[in-house]
Structure formats: C-alpha cells, structure tokens
C-alpha cells in the first residue's frame, strides 16, 4: 500500500498547477482557465506530432525520459500520506536532492544540445540559479534533520511537531524561497511565457514539442508538487500517520490536500504581489535566503531547539 | 501569564527577530528602508523588554520599555526620515561592497560570535541566548558603519550598535537604573540630531552626502 503513494504526486500534480494558475488569475481579476486545464494540455501534447531538429544527438531524445523518471524516483522516496517508509533506507533527503539534480543536469544538457542560443541561455541561467539554490535548500533541511538526528524524510516527518522554534521559522522561510527558485516562479523566473528574453526554465524546453514536451511539463509539475510535499513533510507534518490503516489514510489525505491547497494559494499570492527580479539581482535574493538558512542552523545550534 | 511566554518561547522569537533586522540592514538598497528596519528593530527591542517585564514583574522595566519605544521607536526614526527627505535626491545606500557579499559577511560575523560565546558565559539573565545575539547586533552595526558611504547610513549603523549594547546590558543586568537609561537615551537623541544636521550640511557643502569627499583637503 505504502509503495503506491507516489501515484498521488504523479496524478495530482497537474491539478496543483491548475489550482495555482486559477488562483493567480482570480487574484489578478481575470477569469483564468479551469483547474483541469493542465490535464487537457498534457493530453493534447501527447497526441501531437513531434518535430525534432536533425542536429540533435541522443541526449535530446533521452532527456525527457530521464527527467521524468528521476522526478518519479524522487517522488517514490517521499512520504506523502504515510511515513511508513516506502523504500527504507533510501528515503533520504540528500539522495532526493541529488536525484532531482540528475534531472536538472540532463535538462541543461538538452538545452545546449539543439544548439539554439535560447536553449544555451536557459541552461546557463538554470545552472547559475542551481548553484545558489541547492546549498540553501540543503542547509534549511539540515536544520530540521539535526533536530531529529536523521536525514531520512520519514523520520523527520514523524518527529516534528508544530513549528515552534525560531530556527524552524527561519529554515521555513529559506525553504519557501528555494521552492520558488526551483519551480521557476515569479521573483526568479516567469512560468507563464516563453516569449521573454529572461526565461530560464522555458528556454531549455523551447526545442521540445509533442510527447517529449508533455513529459517535460509533467515532470515539472511533479517536481513542484514534490517540493511542496517535502516542505509539508519537514515543516508541517501534522496528521501524517505512521502506518497504513484505512481511517488514518483518509484523514491524512484530507489534511494533505488542504496543505497542498494552502501552498498553491501561497505561491499564487507571491506570484501576484511580486515583480520579477532582474537576473543579476537574483544573487541578492538567493544570498539573503542562504543567510537565513545559515542563521537558522546557527540559531538551532546555539539555542538547542 | 508566564506560561505562554515560556510555552511559545516568545523571547527567543523576538531576539531572533532583532538579529534578523540587523542582518537585513545589509540587504536593503534604499535609505528609507534602512530607517524602517531600524524602527522595526527598536520596536522589537521595546517589546522584548516589555515581555521580560511581564515575566519578572519589575515595574521600572515598563518605564524602560516605554522610553525605548518613544525615543528609539518614534522620535529618532521621525527625525531620520526628515533628514532623508531634506537630502531629497539619491535614495541609494551605495555600500563599498555589494549586498550579497555583505550579507555573507554578516552571516559569518554571527557565526563567529555564536562560536566564541557558545557556552553562555553569563547565565544570570533571563535567557542565555540574548547576549550572543546582542553582540552579533553590535558587530553588524559596526560592519554597516564601515562599509557604507552615506553619512546617514553610518548614523544608522551607530544606532544599531547602541541597540545591541542596550540589549547586552539588559540581558546581563535586567536593565540599568532608570536614570542612566534615560540619560543614555537623551544623549543618543542629541547625538542623532547633531549627526543629522551634519549630514545635511555635508550634503549642502559638497552636493553629496558621500563621505569620501571629506578625505580631500580644502584650503
């Protein structure tokens, strides 16, 4: 039973994306697409013919599958509804971050592969952001990990109560910035358009079409939901049961869904109220968040909680 | 009353907030935001004193809290805002080193302070963590002073140092006698007013409040 919980991330991630888009549209006074629009998009893309540039190598064709499966593998080691570990010792947060980094690496390669200038731009920007985001994410997770004494996500989720101490609050704020940067949302990247010269994520996907594009987009939605789940597991694991009893799972699912809705609304609110930063101002934002994560670790060490 | 202060570790949250406002000084780019952050810092300081007053029930701490709020939280920010407005142009802070680097340095400063005062040498106060935080705030204030070009930001760095010193003294002794605190507050108010007038005069004389201009001799 617990082996199947990744299916929730697999099938609900487009819904979360749709919820963010609809909420954002409502906040900006537009009607916006329905919450199921990402599903329709994916289905339509699946049916479309692919156009692949003849200068590309095998990397270009392998990347969608690598990105999709690495994200899926990361989803498998994350506790979603129950902390009964799906893959035992593998449920490690460091492993998870590096599994995601594999996908990112291949995505950047594929961006370079087609030889367009936009793809290369997107790749180099993605890597520049990743350098700043990864250590920050690690540090903010480590604060929680130290307080539990384990880097296993399930153990962290079991041991945490409510957010109680200053160090957790600092780590949480750094983690939110990390989520924004990783999912390419507005102060860092604009997810709505690939018509901008400042695009990061979209720039790498520019050469993809049809089924491959659908896989890449779906992997992106999954990564987004996965990061939300990770944040919820680490910082608000209220009501997540340790076994697979049916009643517990029901409550857990309801709570999980509620938390995901909260995250979606939070993201939409941040996107609607912030302006996109210039790329060269990003180190300031991400560096600030890095200092927050660093301070959270220090504060934890000093205060002991 | 004491229960919820303990239960929600209010003191820890407020003191970390004080530290955070000091660190945030390194991130802002506009003079108005500097003044706002200083105001926030003073309010947090004042509320920390009020919370401790609630906890230990010493009446003279309420006076100290109110005096801090009035002096550092309202009067000085009001005056600084006026000075910033009088200088009209250039809202930029113009630090010598860029924001990301100065943020990193302030993080390192905090780490050094925490590491060197790890064991909580003076544990007589209400919390063993506030002393570290106050010394970190002092150092960050000093760092802000030496890395900014504008006269006003140097004044704000000085004010941060003073807040840190006040917090340090407060955390060790539950506050000095009220007469001394009032004296310090009054001195500081005067100091800020004089420095503010100086800043405006520098601005008038050199058409810029950049202190680098003062290194050139005029004769």
User: Helices in chain B by DSSP H: which ranges?
Assistant: 2-7, 10-24, 31-56, 59-68, 76-86, 99-116, 130-147, 151-173, 178-206
Q: Which residues of A10-48 are buried (b: 16+ CB within 10 A; e: fewer)?
A: bebbbbbbbbbbbbbeeeeeeebeebebbbebbeebeee
The pTM (predicted TM-score) of the whole model is 0.89
Do residues A182 and A223 touch, judged by C-beta distance below 8 A?
A: yes
Residues 225 to 264 of A: which have CB under 8 A from any B CB? none
- Residue A226 binned pLDDT confidence (cut-offs 50, 70, 90): very high
- Alpha-carbon distance A83 to A97, whole Å? 19
Residue B114: list chain A partners with CB under 8 A. Answer: 298, 301-302
**Per-residue model confidence (pLDDT) at position B19:** 93
User: Helices in chain A by DSSP H: which ranges?
Assistant: 6-27, 37-47, 58-76, 93-113, 117-148, 153-159, 166-182, 201-205, 210-235, 246-273, 282-303
- Tell me what the mean pLDDT of segment A247-266 comes to: 90
Both tokens assigned to A8:
């929730």
Query: A166 at the B interface (CB within 8 A)?
Result: yes
Judged against a pLDDT cut of 60, whether residue A162 lies above it is answered with no
Q: Which of B6, B12, B100 to mutate to test the interface with A (most CBs of A within 10 A)?
A: B100
Å between B180 CA and nearest CA of chain A: 31
Q: pLDDT tens digits for A5-45? A: 889 999 999 999 999 999 999 999 999 888 999 999 999 99
Judged against a pLDDT cut of 70, whether residue A168 lies above it is answered with yes
Mean pLDDT for chain B overall: 84
Judged against a pLDDT cut of 90, whether residue A215 lies above it is answered with yes
Nearest chain A residue to B17 by CA: give it: A166
Query: B206 at the A interface (CB within 8 A)?
Result: no
A83 or B141, greater pLDDT = B141
Q: pLDDT tens digits for B152-198? A: 888 899 999 999 998 988 888 777 777 888 888 888 888 888 888 88
Query: B23 at the A interface (CB within 8 A)?
Result: yes
* Minimal Cβ distance to A302: which of B100, B107, B114: B114
- Asked if A287's CB is within 8 angstroms of B132's CB, the reply is no
- Residue A100 binned pLDDT confidence (cut-offs 50, 70, 90): very high
Both tokens assigned to A133:
């985001």
**Per-residue model confidence (pLDDT) at position B184:** 85
- Tell me what the mean pLDDT of segment B127-145 comes to: 89
What are residue B30's DSSP bridge partners? B92
- Asked if B118's CB is within 8 angstroms of A302's CB, the reply is yes
Residue A282: list chain B partners with CB under 8 A. Answer: none
- Alpha-carbon distance B39 to B156, whole Å? 10
Å between A152 CA and nearest CA of chain B: 27
Q: pLDDT tens digits for A270-293? A: 999 988 888 888 888 898 899 999
**Per-residue model confidence (pLDDT) at position A16:** 94
Do residues A148 and A110 touch, judged by C-beta distance below 8 A?
A: no
Residue B8: list chain A partners with CB under 8 A. Answer: 164
Nearest chain A residue to B24 by CA: give it: A288
DSSP label at A281?
Answer: G
Do residues A171 and A293 touch, judged by C-beta distance below 8 A?
A: yes
| SS3 of residue B88 by DSSP | coil
Both tokens assigned to A149:
């004494």
- Residue B89 binned pLDDT confidence (cut-offs 50, 70, 90): low
Judged against a pLDDT cut of 80, whether residue A137 lies above it is answered with yes
- Alpha-carbon distance A291 to A77, whole Å? 29
- Tell me what the mean pLDDT of segment A151-174 comes to: 81
* Minimal Cβ distance to A302: which of B8, B106, B132: B132
Residue B106: list chain A partners with CB under 8 A. Answer: 291
A143 or A303, greater pLDDT = A143
ipTM of the complex model: 0.82
């Amino acid at each position: 039973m617990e082996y199947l919980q990744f299916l929730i991330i697999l099938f609900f991630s487009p819904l979360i994306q749709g919820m963010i888009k609809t909420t954002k549209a409502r906040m900006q006074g537009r009607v916006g697409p329905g919450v199921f629009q990402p599903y329709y998009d994916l289905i339509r893309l699946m049916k479309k013919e692919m156009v692949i540039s003849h200068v590309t190598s095998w990397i270009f064709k392998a990347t969608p599958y690598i990105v999709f499966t690495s994200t899926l593998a990361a989803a498998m080691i994350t506790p979603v509804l129950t902390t009964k570990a799906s893959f035992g010792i593998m449920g490690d947060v460091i492993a998870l971050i590096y599994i995601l980094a594999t996908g990112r690496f291949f995505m950047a390669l594929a961006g370079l592969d087609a030889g367009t200038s936009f793809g290369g731009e997107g790749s180099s920007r993605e890597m520049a952001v990743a350098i700043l985001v990864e250590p920050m994410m690690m540090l903010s997770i480590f604060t929680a990990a130290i307080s539990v004494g384990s880097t296993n996500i399930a153990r962290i989720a079991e041991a945490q109560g409510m957010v109680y101490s200053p160090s957790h609050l600092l780590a949480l704020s750094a983690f939110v910035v990390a989520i924004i940067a990783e999912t390419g949302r507005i102060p860092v990247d604009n997810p709505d358009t690939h018509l901008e010269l400042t695009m990061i994520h979209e720039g790498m996907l520019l050469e993809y079409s049809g089924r491959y594009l659908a896989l890449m987009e779906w992997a992106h939605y999954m990564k987004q939901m996965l990061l939300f789940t990770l944040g919820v597991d680490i910082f608000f694991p209220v009501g997540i049961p340790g076994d697979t009893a049916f009643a517990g799972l029901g409550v857990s699912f309801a709570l999980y869904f509620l938390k995901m809705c909260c995250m979606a609304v939070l993201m939409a609110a941040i996107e609607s109220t912030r302006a996109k930063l210039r790329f060269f101002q990003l180190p300031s934002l991400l560096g600030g968040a890095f200092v927050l994560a660093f301070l959270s670790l220090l504060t934890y060490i000093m205060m002991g909680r | 009353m004491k229960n919820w202060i303990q239960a929600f570790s209010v003191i820890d949250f407020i003191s970390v907030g004080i530290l955070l406002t000091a660190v945030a000084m390194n991130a802002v780019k506009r003079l108005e935001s500097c003044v706002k952050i200083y105001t926030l810092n003073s309010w947090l300081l004042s509320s920390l004193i009020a919370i401790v007053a609630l906890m230990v029930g010493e009446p003279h701490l309420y006076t100290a809290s109110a005096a801090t709020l009035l002096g550092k939280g309202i009067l000085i920010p009001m005056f600084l805002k006026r000075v910033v407005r009088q200088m009209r142009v250039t809202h930029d802070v113009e630090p010598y080193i860029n924001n990301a680097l100065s943020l990193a340095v302030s993080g390192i400063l905090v780490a050094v302070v925490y590491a060197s005062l790890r064991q909580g040498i003076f544990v007589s106060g209400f919390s063993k963590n506030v002393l570290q935080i106050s010394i970190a705030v002092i150092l960050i204030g000093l760092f802000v002073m030496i890395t900014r070009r504008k006269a006003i930001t140097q004044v704000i760095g000085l004010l941060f140092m003073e807040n840190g010193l006040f917090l340090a003294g407060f955390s060790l002794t539950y506050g000095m006698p009220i007469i001394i605190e009032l004296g310090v507050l009054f001195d500081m108010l005067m100091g800020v007013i004089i420095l503010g007038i100086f800043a405006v005069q520098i601005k008038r004389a050199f058409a810029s409040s950049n202190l680098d201009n003062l290194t050139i001799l005029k004769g």
